[in-house]
Structure 1
Amino acid sequence: MSSQLDKSRVLVFSLRNIFGKALNRGPHVELEDIICEVDSAELLAPTLDPSSRRASFATRLGYHAPVLLNPGLPRIPADRQYDVLFAICGFPQDLIMFDAIEDLRGACRTSVCLLDEMWVKEIAKHRHFLKVLAKFDIVMPFQIGTVKPLSEEIGHACTHLPLAIDAIKFCPYPDPPERVIDVFSMGRRSHVIHQKLLAMARDSGLFYLHDTISGSQAIDLGEHRAQVANLAKRSRYFLVNPGKFDEPGETGRQVEFGYRYFEGAASGAIMLGERPDNELFPRLFDWPDVMVHVPHTSDDIDQVIRELDRDRERQETMRRTGMVQTLLRHDWVYRWETILKATGLQPLPGVAARKDRLRALAEMVDGRGPSAIPDLNREPAFLAK
């Protein structure tokens, strides 16, 4: 808990002790931790086994019944007042967990829910879970294509919030390590590109780091995120693709992009892969030479890498620009400022302190002196209009 105020003004309701080993929850925990670092926040993280008979039954029933059952979380009494109740929902099914905070909403002036993954084609399927969202004052989906149809479903306007990461964790500075990994790939991958890179690893000694086991659970989520950051900072090239690019049937061909693009830019690795074809990507990643577009069906990634390897000046510019832009625009603290503005609260000194750290790193990476770095107190450039 922060010591900036005698009493916490933000209550962070976290699912970390319920889904704490799921890889996709890592950025959620990072955001929650940064909120507790920069604001006066209390973390409330109840425990429940989501695979228990009661929880499983409640979730299955939720797809069909208009009334959701408590999956087994104890009711949490409110013993004091907060300005903001804040919660992150990874998937629509998570909303069943928030029934336990019913009593807390009355103790909080404003309630905010971030919704990570919600594809438009799945809205009808999850309609009973989504009724919980209507109880929140502010609903912020991460997926921009979902904002309008979700607003229509729950009966009040949603506001888009872009993804972000812990940019300090992913930044290689102040002591940048040697980039000993040639190509780093994690998660979903193109079969064609993967086979080409395997051949390069076999025939030319390319150090191609990729997943060799399947699974979505971490032994320790914090250690996993730190490991991802350490590997990315040591990588020359970093593979990226839009969300579920290999499952168009599941997404309904809705184009969204995830954390990989932020992680690649923040770490200074050169991103290779598909440039997301939606309205948001060019607003968030609007600097020249953000990445090298390589379609997931392409079989010439070897030629792309060889060409880039011949142009060290271009590589250096791409790396530095990506790091600086992420430090100045895509750390979670900037998203927290947006959330505070929506709730009518002013940032506490911890926000400015973290932005000072981000700016100092950006100046170090840029190398041209403080005058080259823009004022971080201006209106964030990423805001969706």
Structure 2
Amino acid sequence: MENSKVAVLSLRDYPFVGWVAIDEFEDLLARVSGCQILAPSRRPNLPKLFERIRNRTIGKFAPIGHFSQSRELLIVVARSPADLQIVHSISNVRKSFRNIAAFVIDSYFIDAFNHDTKLFDHVFTTTEEGADAVRQRFGVASSVLRQGFDCLNWACVDEVRSIDLVGFGRQPPGYHHAFQDAFHRVGSPVLYLHSPIGTISGDAVRKERPMLIKLLQRSKVSLAFHLGVQPQNSRPISADFVTSRWFESLAAGCIVAGKKPPGSMAKEMFPWPDATIELPDDPVEAAEVIVAVTSNSNSLNGQRMRNVVEMCSRHDWRYRIREIYEHFNVPLPPPLISELEQLNTCIKRLRASDS
């Protein structure tokens, strides 16, 4: 294996549209650090009893080998707390790494943290409740590390946008049907583009990801609703959680309209004025708001610039990577330093153009 001081352990061998934003974090981390992304494979499915015994004895994931030389840091990227078990796929992991860290994305599933948590020196979580659970239940150091986005490469303030309203992924049925009724007719000037667009799983998810971001860059308004709005099936229980849709939409220059998560997480992450537009509870009235917003170009352009500057200043993935490195006193790799400088230059340029 390569000679980077850092390695990343991931479940990226199972591409899914809901996790492609986290795959981008891993890709960026690997590129700026020169490290390798290790992805263990799941063992074949067995009848439940045999599978339970197998998982307890030799583990759910096949081993991926060991490191001939000790490394400084292993970063385990876990979609949910249960995914922390992939750390067992590295033989003699404690002898191979001086420090073992985790970055848990859906960390609001606090009941899913188990004894595997104790194997880590530090657990970064996206939520306060996740960090509190790790510290209080397992005595393991933990802190909040929010999600981010590749703002340096995808930030866009272009004013010419041919799509009025875009809705990717899950949309509350009441709003979606009202928007279809209002906008999918010959007399409406509003173009409403919505899912299904693209592939849900498989390698095509990553290939199509740039297409989806480019569609955001060509859209005036992007819909985003917190997870508690008209939940469907077994949706996640945390209405306060800020998903990747908010980050990518704002950075791509969309005005975000919908229902912002009600808790402190969204307030902390998007504290600037008019960061988002809160739609009425009545979907029909919400459609009327969309018409008014998409027709006001001057207001859209001004808020777009503000949103993109704030996103580049606060929520680029490079800031999160720097925080991980600095926590473990690992020197920042030159490519990361260079791209942080490029990001700072980008922010200065955007502010100058807005003055």
Matched, 1:198 2:180: yes
Map 1:214-363 → 2, pairs under 5 A? 216-243=200-227, 245-247=229-231, 251-252=236-237, 254-295=239-280, 298-363=283-348
Contact 1:169 1:226 (C-alpha < 8 Å) held by counterparts = no
Partner residue, 1:13: 9
Contact 2:104 2:126 (C-alpha < 8 Å) held by counterparts = yes
Distance 1:261 1:80 in 2: 41
Amino acid at match of 2:9: F
Amino acid at match of 1:263: E
Partner residue, 1:185: 167
Shift of 1:145: 3.0
Contact 1:188 1:244 (C-alpha < 8 Å) held by counterparts = no
Partner residue, 1:382: none
Shift of 1:169: 3.6
Which of residues 18, 26, 50 in structure 1 aligns to 2:20?
A: 26
Normalised by the size of structure 1, how large is the TM-score? 0.82
Which of residues 149, 154, 159 in structure 2 aligns to 1:165?
A: 149
Per-residue CA deviations over 1:59-106 (Å, capped at 9, x if unaligned) read 9739xx994641241252221111100110012332333211252232
Contact 2:64 2:89 (C-alpha < 8 Å) held by counterparts = yes
Distance 2:48 2:91 in 1: 20
Contact 2:312 2:343 (C-alpha < 8 Å) held by counterparts = yes
Matched, 1:61 2:55: no
Contact 1:242 1:255 (C-alpha < 8 Å) held by counterparts = yes
Change in CA separation of 1:299 and 1:134 when aligned onto 2, cut-off 3 Å: farther
Shift of 1:216: 3.7
Contact 2:190 2:291 (C-alpha < 8 Å) held by counterparts = no
Contact 1:9 1:82 (C-alpha < 8 Å) held by counterparts = yes
Q: SS at the partner of 2:145?
A: coil
Matched, 1:98 2:92: no
Contact 2:225 2:260 (C-alpha < 8 Å) held by counterparts = yes
Contact 1:241 1:257 (C-alpha < 8 Å) held by counterparts = no
Contact 1:171 1:266 (C-alpha < 8 Å) held by counterparts = yes
Partner residue, 1:383: none
Contact 1:201 1:208 (C-alpha < 8 Å) held by counterparts = yes
Contact 2:220 2:255 (C-alpha < 8 Å) held by counterparts = yes
Amino acid at match of 2:10: S
Amino acid at match of 1:12: V
Matched, 1:209 2:193: yes
Q: CA RMSD in A?
A: 2.9
Distance 1:58 1:26 in 2: 32
Shift of 1:36: 2.0
Q: SS at the partner of 1:318?
A: helix
Shift of 1:168: 2.8
- Residue segments in structure 1 that go unaligned for 5+ positions in a row: 373-385
Amino acid at match of 1:53: N
Shift of 1:57: 4.8
Moved more, 264-273 or 350-359: 350-359
Q: SS at the partner of 1:53?
A: coil
Matched, 1:135 2:148: no
Change in CA separation of 1:295 and 1:163 when aligned onto 2, cut-off 3 Å: farther
- Residue segments in structure 2 that go unaligned for 5+ positions in a row: none
Amino acid at match of 2:27: D
Shift of 1:238: 0.1
Normalised by the size of structure 2, how large is the TM-score? 0.88
Change in CA separation of 1:77 and 1:327 when aligned onto 2, cut-off 3 Å: same
Moved more, 276-285 or 150-159: 150-159
Contact 1:86 1:112 (C-alpha < 8 Å) held by counterparts = yes
Change in CA separation of 1:34 and 1:171 when aligned onto 2, cut-off 3 Å: same
Shift of 1:291: 0.9
Distance 1:245 1:268 in 2: 24
User: Identity across aligned pairs (percent)?
Assistant: 20
Shift of 1:178: 3.4
Change in CA separation of 1:60 and 1:184 when aligned onto 2, cut-off 3 Å: farther
